[in-house]
Amino acid sequence: MQIISAILVALIATCSTWWFSHTITRTWLYPLWSGFLVGIVMGQPIEGMMIGAAINLPYVGFITAGGSMPGNPMFAGPVGTALALVSGLDAATATTVGVILGSVAILTWNAYMTLNTFWVHMADKAVENGNLGMVRFFNYVPSFFVSLLFNGVPAFLVVVYGSGFGDWLQNFPQFVVDAFIVIGALMPALGIGMLLNYIGKTKLIPFFFAGFFMTIYFNLGTMAIAVLAVITGLAIYNFSKPTTHGGTE
């Protein structure tokens, strides 16, 4: 059973980076989704979703510019969640471990992108020969196996051999373990801070604080605030639309 879970987790980690899966849904990018899927195949969907959400928070303000990335959430999400589940890490520690994995995995991302350039040249040659079937092949198939090598194989090994990681971490000096917990608790604030850096505009920031105060003082849930935000957005859009000369739309 563990081997089956390891294979499924490996496929999730592979698809998180494999570009073709992103044409189906871009949510593969985010640890919230990939962590939830990992939790399902490992029989712990709630724990997987909670850990995936915790790992996702530092990447809330995540963007890629020109192919460069400050971290690799596509690796940190599934692999970090799998490692946390098999080794019994709490969400805060899992966040720290996940972000560390994502930072190290920038190297695997660069290797993935570099190797995939070879298939582009082969596809160009196939175009010159008028072989459209091979063009499709070089666009879809090789990149899957490259992602499998750099993402799927580590994820598989984590599920099979990662159960002792929690015990190994606990053998560290207590101040090191405490540092992991503190850093993990601070990481979400960093992600939210990065997000505010994008949305912290004069016209938008009042809505952010309005949502915050509704949560704290009116005890409204996320869904209620989301519905209210949609209604407010539609109202602002409709009232800001230009009207006809007759005064009506």
- The 10s digit of each residue's pLDDT in 65-115 is 555 566 788 888 898 899 889 888 877 777 777 777 877 787 888 888 888
Domain match, 66 and 171 both: yes
Residue whose pair of structure tokens reads 């990335």 in the numeric block: 69
Question: With left for phi above 0 and alpha for psi between -120 and 50, is residue 130 left, alpha or beta?
Answer: left
Q: Domain of residue 149: give its range.
A: 2-199
Burial class (CB in 10 A: 0-12, 13-18, 19+), 93: buried
Question: Confidence class of residue 168 from pLDDT cuts 50, 70 and 90?
Answer: low
Query: Residue 71: how many CB atoms within 10 A of its CB?
Result: 20
Residue whose pair of structure tokens reads 């005890």 in the numeric block: 219
Domain match, 62 and 135 both: yes
State the Cα torsion 71-74-95-46 to the nearest 10°: 160
Domain match, 154 and 75 both: yes
Domain match, 187 and 228 both: no
Residue whose pair of structure tokens reads 């995936």 in the numeric block: 52
What does the pLDDT look like over 182-206, one tens digit per residue?
665 666 666 666 666 666 677 777 8
Q: Would the pLDDT of 157 be above 70?
A: yes
Domain match, 56 and 125 both: yes
Mean pLDDT value across the chain: 80
pTM: 0.71
Domain match, 66 and 180 both: yes
Q: Which of 15-19, 36-40, 70-74 has the lowest mean pLDDT?
A: 70-74
Burial class (CB in 10 A: 0-12, 13-18, 19+), 248: exposed
Within the chain, how many helices (H) and strands (E) appear?
A: 13, 0
Distance of CA 207 to the CA centre of its chain: 25
> How many domains does one find in the chain?
2
Domain match, 213 and 92 both: no
**d(C-alpha 219, C-alpha 155), whole Å:** 39
